[in-house]
């Protein structure tokens, strides 16, 4: 999934992800999400502006790692891993059921 989850509120993301999780077999398939992963502190200006734009335009947001953990755990995904190049707002989130 690429730049889908950031378009929606947590409530709608839970619904989207729950449908995907229902189709997954435990322990086998991996959900790969390519999205922004914002730092907890000292976010760069372009990433911060994108997050504000998402909030204003569609009541959505860019998420920090803690928000990703919470969102994915809520729908039953575990073993969450983050892969992010230094200095980049984009990253890969990987999780299994």
In the set 2, 6, 34, 42, the catalytic residue is 6
Radius of gyration of the chain (CA): 13
CB 38 within 8 A of CB 62: yes
Residue 6: active-site member: yes
Pairing of β 63-64 and β 90-96: unpaired
- Secondary structure (3-state) at 35: strand
User: How far, in Å, CA of 42 to CA of 54, rounded?
Assistant: 19
Task: Give catalytic residue positions.
Answer: 6
């Amino acid at each position: 999934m690429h730049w889908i989850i950031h378009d929606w509120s947590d409530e709608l993301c839970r619904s989207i992800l729950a449908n995907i999780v229902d189709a997954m077999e435990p322990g086998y398939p991996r959900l790969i999400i390519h999205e922004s992963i914002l730092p907890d502190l000292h976010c760069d200006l372009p990433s911060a502006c994108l997050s504000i734009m998402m909030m204003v335009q569609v009541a959505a947001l860019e998420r920090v790692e803690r928000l990703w953990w919470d969102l994915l755990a809520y729908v039953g995904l575990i073993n969450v891993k983050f892969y992010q190049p230094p200095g980049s707002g984009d990253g890969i989130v990987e999780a299994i059921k």
